[in-house]
Structures are given as C-alpha cells and as structure tokens.
Structure 1
Amino acid sequence: MDFYFVAKCADFEALNTSHTTCEWASRRHETTTSPHKLLQECYSTGQVFLIFSVNESKGWQGVAKLATSPTELPDKDGWHRFKLIWQLTFPDNHRNGLPFSETADMAVRKDNGEILLLSKCRNYTQIPADLATKLIDKMKACCQNIIVPPKPPKPALFTLEESDKSQFELLWGKLNQVVEAKGRILMTCPFGSQRYNLANENSDMDMFVVYMASTRAHLSLTTPPLTMKSHEADVADFTVVEVKRFCDLVTSGDPRSIETCFLPSCVIYLSSDEFKEFCDSCRKLLLTKELVAKYLGDALGTKGLKLLHKWLSQSVPDQGKINKLFYIVLRNLVLARQVARGEELQPHLLKDSPDWKLLLATRAGQYTNEEMEERVAKLKKEVEGLVSSPSCPLPDHCDVSQVEKWLLKIRCADLCNDPNFPFTN
C-alpha cells in the first residue's frame, strides 16, 4: 500500500540540500500525533511518499520516497531524521515547479468533513492515493515540458594537440600539472567505465583527482577552489575536488567518491601516503544505508530508470542510448547490492564474474528492453529487501569523527611543514 503526505519546506536552500543529501526530518509534536510516528506506522506497512512544496512559492517542487523509517529518538536539535530516494525534481530554471493554480480544483476531505484545498494543506497532511497520483502526474507533465537552456561553453582548462588513447599518460600528466598549481595531489584515478573494469574501445577517458590546498591558503582571504570540472573544450572529462570537499562527499554517502577508496592499486594512477592512511582507517565507515540509498536514487531517479521510461515511450527510441542507460542503472544496483549484503565494496568488477558479464552484455545490447527491465526490477527488490531487513548490518550514516580526525591531522602537518607560515618557527 502506498501512502502520500505533503511536506512543507522552509526555503529552496533546504530543498536543494535535501536533493544532495537525500535526507529529511520531522520534529516531535506534543499536542498532536507526532509526524515521525505517523510515518513510521505507514513505512512499516507500505511505501511512503512526500510531495514537497516550498513555503511562499505557490507551487509543488518535488516527490521523494522514504528509503528509511524516521529515527525513534530525535537528534540533539530535536529532529527525527530519515533517508529519501528522490523520484521527481524540477530544474533550476523552473524551480517553482507546478503552480498551485494548476491544482485549484483538487481538495482533501478532512475527518470532520471539512473540504481543504490541496494548496492549503499543512505539513504532513495525508493525501488520498488517487488524488496524490493525479497531482504527481500533473507534476511529471509540467517537468517534461520544461526546456532547459544550454550553458555557454567555458574555455578549456587544458588542451592537447591530439587526444587519442595512446596519449593516456600525457593526459594524466597534463592534468596533474594543472592541479599541482593549486595544491598537492593526494589521489588520481579513473572516473568512468575504466574504474569498473568495463571499458571498451569507445570508452571516454574520465579522471578523478583529490588534492589538498595548503592550510595557509584556507586561512587566507583567497579561498582555494573546492571543485574543478572539465569544460566542453577539454580533451578529457575530469573532476577535481579539494580534500575538504572530498570528506564532505564521502561522509554524506556520495557513491562515486566512496568508490575511489575501494579501488585496487592497479587502477589508481597516483596515491599519497595520506590517502592510503585514509583508506586504511576510514573507508569501512563509509559503507552505510545512506550510500545504498544514493545508489538507488541514481539508479531509479530522474537520471536513471525514470529517464529510461521517458525514452522508451518515444515513437522512435534511440536503442544505443537506452542500452547504455540500462547498463548504468544496473551497475548502480549491482554495487548497491554489494553494500546492502554487508560485503566490501568492489567497484572494479572481476573479469568474467556474473556481474561483469551481465553489465557488458547489457551495454552491448544482448538483451531485450523487457529482459533488462525484469533484471532491474529483480535487483531493486533484492536491494530494498536487504537494506530494510532487521538483520542488515549497515549503520544509517557514517560516523564522521574518524574522518575529521584524519583531515585535521593532514592539515596540521601541512601547516607545521610550511616554512613561510609565521607561527611554524
């Protein structure tokens, strides 16, 4: 059984933060039934969906499914927290979402017989399933009609006269040279299909770099860049993150960042002693229900299964694009299953393993769309069952204390070794 509730949001900043963290929370009510109790009860018997509306926006901005039940005990600030899997979000250029005017004919009948317009519903008002489905369909139609303007191209961070695969070492070296102008590199590794041992002759060269800007730079008036990404003019796709940003990502369950901590040495191009120490002391702490929820969100959300369904509904679908997206969806579910089982994450799949064969065959188009959808549904059900089981060994969230300890240690060491800092002598 599915349950639907209105979720009122203080502002767009809070909504955007939830898009990133896949987390929401409710406060305890002393005079009425506390929302977290209501959500817990519904979660125990079916699926629970929240339909979001930002205060004063006069619109509906998103739909999310609960991935975990609200915590029984509140945190120090009085919030009962729970994880979400986002089902529908609106792009930045249409952040107000579906206007209330489009739902002016939709209303909820309260227990006392009073008729309440949907737009007037308060936080955690329950909506009948048929009415919620109608509202969500309107939101989907509105979202599909939005045209997102292309961003103007930015100048390349670095260029090469040629960019064929034989220049792999040159690409790495050139990127490292650019990053070292900002700070010291801690780790460099592949970011795309190469990290999963699934590259073919058509695979792009994607790169991921973690660097550390000097502690002195962080204490100065000029803040070092936390993230650098490739532009259209660059010869390779890359993402560069400063170590503070990297720590924020891994402790909030970001799959791509966490995967870098579980790659075998044969895949990593460069790894410092500090990064090896981080992997030894912290990486097991990163395997959480939050990580599984992020994998599921990537697989089933607007850039995964929902986009697949949109493509499949087209009169002349692009089967090549569909095969690749099915491959990405299944890859996320395969890795989510590893974590949900309580296994150590292995993003670099073993050659000739069942998962490796499945993903390569999917990408090559060896299955029908119906067969691929069946495999997605089976994996989704298995992962959700594992992570919701009382015997699931995973914590809800990462214990950040060990990560903070490591970050402070390398920051202090950098400061002590800086001959130009006035207090190190």
Structure 2
Amino acid sequence: MVRYFVCKCATIASLRQCVESGVWACKDRDSFPNPRETLTKALGEGTVILVFSVNNCHGWHGVCEMISAPGEVISNLDGTENASHDDLVSRTAVDMKPDSDTDKSSNSVIWHRFRVRWRTVFIRKFGERCLSSQTTSELCCFDGQPVNKCRNLQELPEDVGEKIWIMIEEHYNHLSEKQKEKEAAQLSKQPGPFLKGVKEHLDFQSTWRSLVEKVERDLGKVLLACPFGSQRYNLHRADSDMDMFIVYQADTKAVLGLEPPKHTIKNREGESYDYTVHEVHRYCELLTQGDPRCVETLFLHPSSITHCSDRWRQFLAHRDLFLHSLCLEKYLRDGLGSKGLKQFEKWMKDQSPHNLLTPKLSKLVYIILRLLQNARDVTLKRLCVYREEESLERQQLLKVRRGEITGLEARQLIEELLEVIEANKCDVEEPSDEMRRQTEAWLLKLRYDNFLSYPPEQT
C-alpha cells in the first residue's frame, strides 16, 4: 500500500537543507489527528511518499519516501545555544510558520523528525525550477479541494499522488534532455582536444617531446615546459597522473593581427593527460597576480624542467620579486578555505582524532600541508618547490599520503606551520612596481625581438 502526503516547505533554503541532510520533521497540532500519528500509522502499513511544494513558488519540487517514523527533537525558536547539528537541520528544514492552532506565545516547539530518501528532486540539478502548479490544477484532494491548495501534510488520493509523481518524473526527464542538448550544442562549437593527433607514448619524455613539438608547430615558441602536481614537488608515485604545464610565445604578428592567439588551452574531459598551455602574456598576468602555480615555475628544480629557453633563464634573475602578499594570500586561501582546512574540520566531526586518517582525509591533509609549507616558505622569502629526497617536509608529506598519522597528529602539523606563517607574514611585502616593470620589460623585449625577426617585406 502506498500513501501520498503533501509537504509544504517554507523556503527553497529549507528544501535544500532537507535534500542535503535527508531529514524532515513535523510538529503536533491542537486538533486531532496529529501528523506524527498519521504518518507513523501510514508507514507501518506500507510506503509513505511525500510530495514537496515550496511556498509562493507555484509548483512541485520533488518526491521523497519516508524511511523512519517521526521522533522528537526540542529546538528553541529564539536561539540555537543548546541545539545540536541535527536539531538545527530539523528546525530549519520545516515550515516555521506556526499552525493556526499552535500557541504562538510558546518559547519552544517539539519537532518530530524523521529520515527521508529522495526519489526525484529538481534542486540538485535544476535549481529552483519545478513542475508548474498549472499542470495539476484539475487534480483534487479527498475533500474535493484542488491539490494546489492543499494544507501541509494533507493526504492525497493514491491515484492523484501517483499521477503527480509521474508528472514530476516526466518533467525532470524533459529538463534533463534539454540540458543534454544544450551541452552537446555548446560542445560542438568548441575546438577539438588540442592533443588530438599526438601519439601517446609509454614514457613521459616521449610524450613531453610530442607535446612541445605540437605547441611550437601550431602555436609558437615554447619558453617553458614542466610538470605540475606531484611531479613538480618530487612527491609523485608510480600511479601519479602526468600533469603538463607549458608557456609559449605567440608570434608578434599574430598578437597584433586580426586573429589573436589563444591565451590558455586546457585539456578536455576524457583526455589522457591533464595539461595547461598559457600564452606568455596570460602567464605574466597570472604571475603578477600571485598565482601560485605560475610563481612556482620560477623556483623549479632542474630535474623538473623538461624544456627551457635562454630567455626564460634570464627572467629568473627577478624571481624573488614575486614572493609577495598576493601569492601568500592565495596559498592560504587554498590551504585554509572550503576545500582545505575547513573541509578537513567538517570531515573530522565524524572521526576520532586518535584514529589513523582515512584515505580521503589523508589526501586532503597532504594537500593542505603542501600548500602551507609553500606559504611558510613565502613568509621566509624563499620557495622550495622541489622536496629533496631526505628532507623533513617530504618525509612528512609521504607519511601523510600513506595514511600513517592520526587526525590529532595532522592538526599538530598544520598548527606548527600556521604558527611560523603567523610569526613572519608581516615581513611579506606588497606587490612592487619593480616587479611589474621587470615583467613588462621582459615581455616587450620578447615581442620586439620576434617582430624584428620577420623579413622586411612581412613587417
């Protein structure tokens, strides 16, 4: 037996929280029967399907199935001081407007929360789009009222609930097909993968050579070719990906002409290798803005350089100018932000700090520590991109990557780096005019010399 109920949701934010947490809730009413009792009885007799509609959005936003009976959570309406995480989920996930038969002067409300499993929902993929209520305007509840005017947790006739669910699924599939058609149309307008036609080799050097040759044949002179990722830091393993980074110089004629060169070319999904190819102008822009991946190219170990021009080596004389505050800020933002330390703290809530890190946590901590090691180096006015074989930094990172430390030890390593950074960051200088002058002078000299290399009849 399947029974269907309408859930009226206060806001899109409440719906989103329910989708993310898998928790919904109901509260008791003064009048009989209470939703808690009705839902519990229905769940004991079979399957309970909830059809969601967000207030003032004029539509149906999804369908979920109850997988547990309602329980009890007490949450203060005027504060969250003593509320647990799940309490907050329950409190914010429901319609907070009091029922007409609820004592509005009460300082607390008892929420009966329960678990749900989402079957079809628009918000994950399509945002606030939903099945329009106009499509269900002819459908009615048991009492003859239109379903579009249902009260919260009002039951629907089985055939009506099933029809709305089918209509929601059909509309979801329609939106999915439209999205696929749009993505296919956009993809067809894009050029093919840059490495298409380059023969894949078993060894890195042969593949690198093929890539450099293609860039020089199709784009311009290669100034630098080097790996990024673990190979750059001497932290790669046998199963590490091959990540490529190239800076090239387009012909000045092309730069000044009607068809300017591409500033950046990156691999597309499905290609065998990850690669980034920057035209030197774009590279210089990123460099002066403190982009860590570009700044690191000025501090590479010789073994990490696959191809390097004489002009590139000349520019390295000014590399210390790029260890400025913007570079430090970006290292710290990446290391401490939502994909760094904040993510670590979030994942550790369900872990004992005394247990060894899980593989997922090990990889995250490895990335955080590597970023913070580089941030520390910037504050000390040096940057050791390449971790020497016997260095403490390399030993720590590899130990973390192998999952040989606990959450508590990970926090201690992070705190030690942050203490050094905090003690020295006031000495990090702001981006200087000298840095910009040297970068621009180098770039203009590249353009000028290339332009002079053309025969007179072409200039």
What TM-score range do you get, normalising by the shorter chain? Answer: 0.5 to 0.7
Q: What residue number does 1:382 align with? A: 420
TM-score using structure 1 length:
0.60
Contact 1:263 / 1:347 at 8 angstroms: preserved in 2?
yes
2:348 maps to a residue whose letter is L
Which amino acid is the alignment partner of residue 360 of structure 2?
A: K
Provide the C-alpha distance between the structure 2 equivalents of 1:372 and 1:148, rounded to a whole number of angstroms: 35
Kindly indicate whether residue 430 of structure 2 is the aligned counterpart of residue 396 of structure 1. yes
Q: Among residues 319, 336, 344, which one is paired with 1:283 in the alignment?
A: 319
Separation in 2, partners of 1:292, 1:333: 9
1:336 correspondence with 2:375 = yes
Q: TM-score, normalised by structure 2?
A: 0.55
AA partner of residue 397 (structure 1): P
SS at 1:222 equivalent? coil
Identify which range, 406-415 or 155-164, moves more after superposition. Answer: 155-164
Q: Secondary structure at the match of 2:302?
A: coil
Describe the shift of the 1:401–1:356 C-alpha distance in structure 2 as closer, same or farther (beyond 3 A): same
Say which is worse superposed, 260-269 or 414-423, in terms of deviation. 414-423
Conserved 8 A contact 2:379-2:425: yes
Deviation at 1:277, TM superposition (A): 0.9
Aligned to 1:61: none
Distance 1:160-1:214 versus aligned 2 partners, 3 A rule? closer
1:28 alignment partner in structure 2: none
Query: How many Å apart are 1:303 and its aligned residue?
Result: 2.1
Q: Tell me, what secondary structure is at the counterpart of 1:203?
A: coil
Percent of residue pairs identical: 36
Q: Equivalents in 2 of 1:146, 1:173: separation in Å?
A: 46
CA distance in 1, matches of 2:196, 2:236: 23
SS of residue paired to 1:186: strand
In the TM superposition, residue 421 of structure 1 has moved relative to its aligned partner by 6.4
Residue of structure 1 aligned with 2:332, choices 272, 279, 296: 296
Q: Post-superposition shift, 1:147?
A: 4.5
User: Looking at CA atoms only, which structure, 1 or 2, has the larger radius of gyration?
Assistant: 2
The aligned counterpart of 1:58 is none
- What is the Cα deviation at residue 198 of structure 1? 0.6
Match of 1:299, SS state, is helix
User: Is 1:158 paired with 2:195?
Assistant: yes
Verify the 8 A CA contact 2:194 2:265 in the aligned structure 1.
no
Q: 262, 272, 287: which one pairs with 1:250?
A: 287
Q: Distance in 2 between matches of 1:259 and 1:288?
A: 13
Amino acid in structure 2 at the alignment position of 1:231: R
Alignment partners' CA distance in 1, 2:260 and 2:284: 17
Counterpart secondary structure, 2:328: helix
Does the residue aligned with 1:224 lie in a helix, a strand or coil? coil
The answer (yes or no) to whether the contact 2:299–2:383 under 8 Å persists in 1 is yes
Within 5 A, what are the aligned runs for 1:193-212? 193-212=230-249
Establish whether residue 263 from structure 1 lines up as the match of residue 300 from structure 2.
Answer: yes
* Aligned-residue offset at 1:346: 1.3
Q: Look up the match of 2:206.
A: 170
Q: Structure 2: state its 5+ residue gaps.
A: 1-55, 57-80, 82-87, 94-121, 127-179
Contact kept? 1:339, 1:345, Cα under 8 Å: yes
Displacement of 1:204 in angstroms is 0.7
Equivalent in the alignment of 2:393? 355
* CA distance in 1: counterparts of 2:220 and 2:349, whole angstroms: 48
Shift of 1:400: 0.6
After the TM superposition, which residues 2-401 of structure 1 pair with which residues of structure 2 at under 5 Å, given as runs?
A: 147=124, 155-159=192-196, 166-180=202-216, 181-280=218-317, 282-313=318-349, 319-342=358-381, 344-388=382-426, 392=427, 394-398=428-432, 399-401=435-437
* Residue 229 (structure 1) shift: 0.7
Return the offset for 1:378: 2.4
Deviation at 1:163, TM superposition (A): 5.6
CA 421–349 in structure 1, closer or farther in 2 if over 3 Å, else same: farther
When residues 319 and 148 of structure 1 are mapped into structure 2, their CA distance, relative to the original with a 3 A threshold, is farther
Deviations 1:61-94 (A, max 9, x none): xxxxxxxxxxxxxxxxxxxxxxxxxxxxxxxxxx
CA deviations on 1:355-396 (whole Å, 9 max, x unpaired) are 1111111111110122112211221232122102xxx2x321
Q: Using the TM superposition, name which of 206-215 and 232-241 deviates more.
A: 232-241
Q: Return the letter of the residue paired with 2:236.
A: A
Q: 1:367/1:146 Cα in 2 relative to 1: closer, same or farther (>3 Å)? A: farther
Q: How many residues align?
A: 278
User: Residue 349 and residue 416 in structure 1: after superposition, are their counterparts in 2 closer, same or farther (change >3 A)?
Assistant: same
Q: What root-mean-square deviation, in Å, do the aligned CA atoms of Structure 1 and Structure 2 show?
A: 3.2
Between the aligned partners of 1:411 and 1:375, the Cα distance in structure 2 is 46
Do the aligned partners of residues 271 and 161 (structure 1) sit closer, same or farther apart at CA in structure 2, a change above 3 Å counting? closer
Partner Cα separation in structure 2 for residue 326 and residue 315 of structure 1: 14
Please state how far the C-alpha of 1:158 moved relative to its aligned partner. Answer: 2.1
Structure 1's 336 and 184: CA in aligned 2 closer, same or farther, altered over 3 A? same
Name the CA distance, whole Å, in 1 between partners of 2:210 and 2:256: 28
Higher helix share: 2
Quote the offset at 1:169 in angstroms.
Answer: 1.9
Cα 1:178–1:413 shift into 2, 3 Å: same
CA shift at 1:253, angstroms?
Answer: 0.7
Q: 1:405 to 1:148 in 2, by over 3 A?
A: farther
